[in-house]
Structure 1
Amino acid sequence: MTFTALRSGGAKLYAKMGPSWLAGAIAAGPATMASLLTAGTSFGFALLWVVVLSAILGTFAQYLAMRLGLRTETGLVAAVERHLGGGWAWLLVADAVLAAGLAQLVIMKGVADISATITGIDARIWGVAWALVLAFGLAGGGYRVAELGAKLLVSAVVCAFIASLFVVPIDPSAAIAGLVPMMPAGLSGALVVAGILGGAVHITLITMHSYTMRARGWTRDDTDIATTDIVASMFVAFGIYSLAIFLVAASVLHGAVSPEGLTHVSASQALGPLVGANAKWLFLLGLWGAAVSTLGGNTVVPPFLLADKLGWGTTVEDSRYRLLLAGFALVSAVGPFVGGSFFPLLVLVLAFGLVGTPFAIAIVLALLNDRRVVGETPAPWTNLGGVVLICITVLTAGSFVRGHLSTPGEPLSAFVLVFAAVLGTATLVVLGLAVRTALREETPRAATQ
């Protein structure tokens, strides 16, 4: 086969893929970048194992969501309402909308701040401008505009950070030592670990997958291309993105920039001796591209879920969905008015989203193991992987939640604790229902043998 034929085949495959790239655009965003930069700056190579694990777990979480979406050929919220009840559907919607909404405000703050740094125009003006671009672009073009933008921006950002590895000296022995699992002491370490995992295994990524596949018109017959789509976007593109950023941060920023003083400007300035006077602008453009791609992908999630719960269409052909999409985009203009540095805020919202993620995974597993929903139960290794995924996310999110137990009177800590208690209880109940369903189905089968 000639190089031209290979290139043509690769281009055709790239064009066929899409739904998981929108999830990858959210995962490979400024929040994940902030977590990775904070991890490398604070702990050197010690958390490399978390970076590798995040790509693996993120890929598997999307695989579970893909299996359920293709077998039900409906939206996740509609499937939950039909088979578990309206109350569970509303709880899933509230969980996802809250996580995506908080992330939207902080991501918009980041996009506006970076735009202000590059242009000198006030960030609040940029917030309004970007909100209008989102509202008109997504409400007018719908899913295809978001998908195309995600694929182009994620590909460009991944290439940019791969290039950085060629000019950054990496200590191989220190990097290999970082593959040995360890958890840094204190709330800051738990927050960073939760932030890294939360970037790859997040409720918004899991809940949106059935809707993006429906927008593409994929059915059960498209399982092979859907699997390839996930591996290419989450494991390959997102994995390389995460590794490149982390290795650069651990090699260059660790010891050169304090974790407390880490900002998009200080991070870019630390790269100056390596890549020259244009380091700041190269870094800011990479961060800007990641932020814009995430902003577009994240904007479509709450409208997908709310429209599905209300029985509306989930494409711009339904004017009600279009209004939801435009409204959520416009509300994000509030982001630049949020106080604080957006790097720490990004890590916090990822960790917060991780708290609500085990519930979404439990919902997916419960439906996948109900023959009335999918007609066939998954292979044992799939269920084992799902249980491991829940355990890891619970343990990681639990470390973050435990850090707030010492300050239950503070509004943020109280909110995190209540949120964790509600979603933790709901996760246990859903898993209990799944086990009961499995036993009920196994009993008649055993009686006939």
Structure 2
Amino acid sequence: MKGIKKYFGPSTLVTAAFIGPGTLTVCTISGANFGYTLLWVLLFATISTIILQEMTARLGLITQKGLGEAIRAQIENPVVRAIAIILVFTAIIIGNAAYEAGNISGAALGIEGIFGDTIPWAMLIGVVSFAILFLGKFQLIERVLIGLVMVMSTVFIITALIVKPDLSEIFSGLFIPSITDQNQLAILGLIGTTIVPYNLFLHASSVSKKWKKQEQLGDLRKENAVAIGLGGLISMAIVITSAATIYGTGVSGINEMAVQLEPLLGSWAKYFIAIGLFAAGISSSITAPLAAAYAARGVFGWKEKASSWKFRSIWIFILMIGTIFSLIGYKPIQVIQVAQIANGVLLPVIVSFLIHLCNKKSLLDNYVNKPWQNMLAFVVIMVSLVVSFRSLNSVFNFI
């Protein structure tokens, strides 16, 4: 039991955080619109996430500090430090606010699938998330998230096997990249829902709770690879089930999303998707504001505890913005898509700072990045930038 337990911890929390309503929605839409052709994006994004989360976890283990604290401490020039703080804080606030709107909209979409739109569910979800964050019951939340990841993985992976997808098309989709004018936003959304910028802050801040010694780096890396690899497998399974069952039909709501699980769950598929969206939305609506607050505390050098009102003011703001945007009339599917696109656009800013820190020998000594880690991180930045710039006009038109 002890050998198995070491593979569950901060990295599993990261996986559960990115397997939220955004992943379920964006992966379903990608499979429905483009079949298996964008599986290569998830393969690339999963490998990239393993590398980037290992970097931020290693930073947290060796320094016993969060990513925000490291950024502030390692930039000595006051002007450059101020610019860096503004850039990081702005990216985190914008990204997390958009992500939070998607989380709450996803949870609301799930509960509406069972009870209908009888009341403003987004407001109720915002209040519940506020209560959980205010009370600080995070250990219980972590267990729920881990359980959610396991349930999601089992259902989607089994369904992906039952629908008997075309293996040659899966192989082609995994290893032959395809970028067209039509799929650019989908690519950016898949990257944004997998390589989540706020998870880099969340991971670095939470890793020191379990990992204390430099000698544990090997175990940390194993946990990181297993947990995030599982998350990538779940995302691919969602695309595969969607491509095999609803390709070419379009997705506008929960009923269309449920069709992909009917081969396994039959008439219960709608309720599973509804409960899954609700649970994933609630869990992610808690982790996103919390990660923003940790990031703010780090970059501004606050010494206050998580129970201080300065710390709470950040997550309250993120939660409030997310709730408001979920209430003002945008369709939940649209809000969720835009949130993932925003994450993809903001990703290069955070990754650039992470690369800088993980190459500082004065900070990590012999644990600095290897050349291949830098190379892959730069590829993540370049792919995100290229797709972001090519899609910018489409993003504005989409919004």
TM-score, structure 2 as length reference: 0.89
Question: 1:146, CA displacement in angstroms?
Answer: 3.5
Aligned residue among 361, 366, 375 for 1:387: 375
Question: 1:99, CA displacement in angstroms?
Answer: 0.4
Q: Give 1:197's aligned residue.
A: 191
Instruction: State the one-letter code of the partner of 2:294.
Output: F
8 Å CA contact 1:211–1:314 kept in 2: the answer is: no
Measure the CA separation in 1 of the matches of 2:19 and 2:94. Answer: 20
Measure the CA separation in 2 of the matches of 1:349 and 1:130. Answer: 18
Q: Does 1:40 align with 2:31?
A: yes
TM-score, structure 1 as length reference: 0.80
Instruction: State the one-letter code of the partner of 2:201.
Output: T
Aligned residue among 235, 243, 251 for 1:242: 235
Decide which moves more: 155-164 or 393-402: 393-402
RMSD over equivalenced CA pairs, Å: 2.6
Decide which moves more: 100-109 or 387-396: 387-396
Q: Does 1:295 align with 2:289?
A: no
CA deviation profile, 1:56-86 (whole Å, cap 9, x unmatched): 1111110111122222221212211121123
Aligned residue among 348, 358, 368 for 1:378: 368
Measure the CA separation in 2 of the matches of 1:222 and 1:274. Answer: 40
Question: 1:252, CA displacement in angstroms?
Answer: 0.7
Instruction: State the one-letter code of the partner of 1:181.
Output: I
Q: Give 1:68's aligned residue.
A: 59
Measure the CA separation in 1 of the matches of 2:109 and 2:149. Answer: 20
- Size of the aligned set, in residue pairs, is 394
Question: 1:300, CA displacement in angstroms?
Answer: 1.0
Question: 1:289, CA displacement in angstroms?
Answer: 3.0
Correspondence list, 1:429-444, <5 A: none
Q: Which has the higher contact order (CA 8 A, sep 6+)?
A: 2
SS of equivalent residue, structure 1 residue 276: helix
CA deviation profile, 1:22-49 (whole Å, cap 9, x unmatched): 2212211111222211211111111122
Q: Give 1:185's aligned residue.
A: 180
Decide which moves more: 31-40 or 329-338: 329-338
Sequence identity percentage: 20
Measure the CA separation in 2 of the matches of 1:37 and 1:411. Answer: 22
Q: Give 1:120's aligned residue.
A: 116
CA deviation profile, 1:265-286 (whole Å, cap 9, x unmatched): 2121465466422222222223
Measure the CA separation in 2 of the matches of 1:51 and 1:411. Answer: 25
Measure the CA separation in 2 of the matches of 1:100 and 1:326. Answer: 12
Structure 2: runs of 5+ lacking an equivalent = 76-80
Q: Give 2:100's aligned residue.
A: 104
8 Å CA contact 1:354–1:393 kept in 2: the answer is: no
Query: Residues 150 and 299 (structure 1 numbering): CA distance in 2 closer, same or farther, change over 3 Å?
Result: farther
8 Å CA contact 1:25–1:154 kept in 2: the answer is: yes
Q: Give 1:346's aligned residue.
A: 336
Q: Does 1:225 align with 2:219?
A: yes
Question: 1:360, CA displacement in angstroms?
Answer: 1.5
Instruction: State the one-letter code of the partner of 2:388.
Output: F
CA deviation profile, 1:212-260 (whole Å, cap 9, x unmatched): 123446353432332222112111x2022112111101111113x12xx
SS of equivalent residue, structure 1 residue 183: coil
Q: Give 1:431's aligned residue.
A: none
User: Which structure is larger by alpha-carbon Rg, 1 or 2?
Assistant: 1
Q: Give 1:440's aligned residue.
A: none
